[in-house]
């Protein structure tokens, strides 16, 4: 069924056709992911596993410790929200940006995708959604690690699960949008470099290892990191999972994550359309 045919029918039929085509693209990508499940698990688990092992197992065993502004809370507890946020961002970028390098370059698979009975912009949105789904899975895979590996007790509260779900979903969509922006704005040969000049800085300055409030002693840095969307993801997860720690107001991080999602999605979809038409 062509896009022209869909447009000639009633609006409801056209929307159903778009929905089927969108679902078909998601199903196709899901099947490819299942065939590559081992690399997916390795790239998802390795980074948080190393951080948990070193900071929450090795350091307590050798007498090194952190309090992150909360002396009565183990560093493993402080680390949980940040590691979930890092897993979400890392997975969103790698799941969207890296495949786009091949699709726009060597394989030219993007030409097949844009022939689907969908507006071209919807193909870009599908990339964001599929990246977000992988980010949600990555977030879920972090929790067993932070319970099994640390040498100290981990105190995580799931009573605020509606807020937790909202933060995870919004953060995952934002990570997918960031991946789309990186994969379409940056030249294909420069995408691997992005992990060095983008992912590492936003990780270390994303309030992963400390609450944002702890930066009050370095006032200029506390305000400078507010341009980093990972800060709001970490603070949102910290509020949801470890409310005993200092955290941002709910309205502040939800508003910032939503704004980041809107800006990155707009940038990514527009750049995607330019790349397809060029």
Q: Is residue 119 part of a domain?
A: yes
Residue 64 phi/psi, 5° resolution?
-90, 145
The reported pLDDT for the residue numbered 5 is 45
- pLDDT of 239 reads 93
70, 246 in Cβ contact below 8 A? yes
Q: Determine, yes or no, domain membership for 8.
A: no
Long-range contacts of 57-65 (CB under 8 A, 24+ apart): 57/149, 57/150, 57/151, 60/150, 60/151, 60/152, 61/151
Nearest CA to 149 among 46, 43, 73, 49?
49
Query: Which tens digit of pLDDT belongs to each residue from 2-44?
Result: 444 444 457 777 777 778 888 888 888 888 888 888 888 887 8
Q: Are 191 and 197 in contact (CB under 8 A)?
A: no
Alpha helix (H) residue ranges in 73-204: 75-104, 110-113, 120-148, 161-185, 191-194, 200-204
Question: Which token pair is 30?
Answer: 């899901």
Range of the domain at 103: 42-277
Query: Does residue 144 sit within a domain?
Result: yes
SS3 13: helix
Helices 120-148 and 75-104: angle between axes, nearest 10 degrees: 150
Cα–Cα distance between 213 and 202 in angstroms, integer? Answer: 17
Distance CA 65, CA 59 (A): 6
Please report which helix (H) or strand (E) contains residue 256, including its range. Answer: helix 250-277
Residue 37 falls within a domain, yes or no?
Answer: no
Quote the pLDDT of residue 7.
45
Q: Which residues contact 215 (CB under 8 A, 6 or more apart)?
A: 207, 221, 222, 225
For residue 27, being part of any structural domain is answered with: no
Q: Is the pLDDT of residue 221 over 70?
A: yes
The domain tally of the chain equals 1
**Domain assignment present for 96:** yes
Residue 148: per-residue pLDDT: 80
The answer on pLDDT for 227 being more than 50 is yes
In a domain, 152, yes or no: yes
pLDDT of 233 > 50? The answer is yes
**pLDDT higher for 96 or 114?**
96
pLDDT, tens digit, for every residue of 165-213? 999 999 999 999 999 998 888 776 776 677 778 888 898 899 988 899 9
Mean local confidence (pLDDT), 231-235 = 95
pLDDT at 247: 86
Please give the backbone phi and psi of residue 90, each rounded to the nearest 5 degrees, phi first. -60, -45
Q: Note whether residue 92 is domain-resident.
A: yes
102-151 pLDDT, tens per residue?
777 666 667 777 777 788 888 889 999 999 999 999 898 888 887 788 76
pTM over the 0.75 mark: yes
């Amino acid at each position: 069924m062509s896009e022209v045919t869909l447009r000639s029918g009633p609006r409801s039929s056209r929307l159903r056709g778009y929905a089927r085509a969108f679902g078909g693209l998601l199903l196709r990508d899901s099947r490819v992911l299942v065939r590559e499940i081992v690399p997916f698990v390795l790239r998802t688990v390795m980074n948080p596993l190393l951080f948990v092992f070193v900071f929450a197992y090795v350091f307590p065993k050798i007498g090194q410790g952190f309090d992150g502004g909360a002396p009565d809370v183990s560093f493993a507890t402080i680390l949980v929200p940040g590691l979930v946020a890092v897993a979400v961002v890392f997975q969103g970028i790698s799941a969207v940006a890296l495949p786009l390098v091949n699709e726009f370059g060597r394989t030219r698979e993007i030409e097949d995708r844009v022939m689907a009975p969908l507006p071209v912009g919807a193909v870009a949105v599908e990339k964001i959604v599929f990246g977000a789904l992988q980010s949600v899975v990555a977030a879920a895979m972090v929790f067993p690690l932070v319970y099994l590996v640390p040498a100290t007790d981990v105190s995580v509260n799931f009573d605020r699960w509606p807020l937790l779900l909202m933060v995870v979903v919004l953060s995952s969509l934002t990570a997918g949008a960031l991946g789309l922006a990186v994969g379409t704005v940056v030249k294909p040969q420069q995408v691997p470099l992005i992990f060095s000049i983008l992912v590492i800085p936003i990780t270390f300055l994303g309030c992963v290892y400390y609450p944002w409030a702890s930066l009050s002693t370095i006032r200029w840095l506390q305000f400078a990191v507010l341009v980093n969307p990972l800060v709001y993801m970490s603070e949102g997860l910290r509020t949801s999972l470890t409310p005993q720690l200092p955290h941002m107001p709910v309205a502040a991080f939800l508003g910032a994550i939503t704004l980041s999602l809107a800006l990155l999605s707009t940038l990514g979809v527009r750049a995607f359309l330019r790349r397809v038409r060029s």
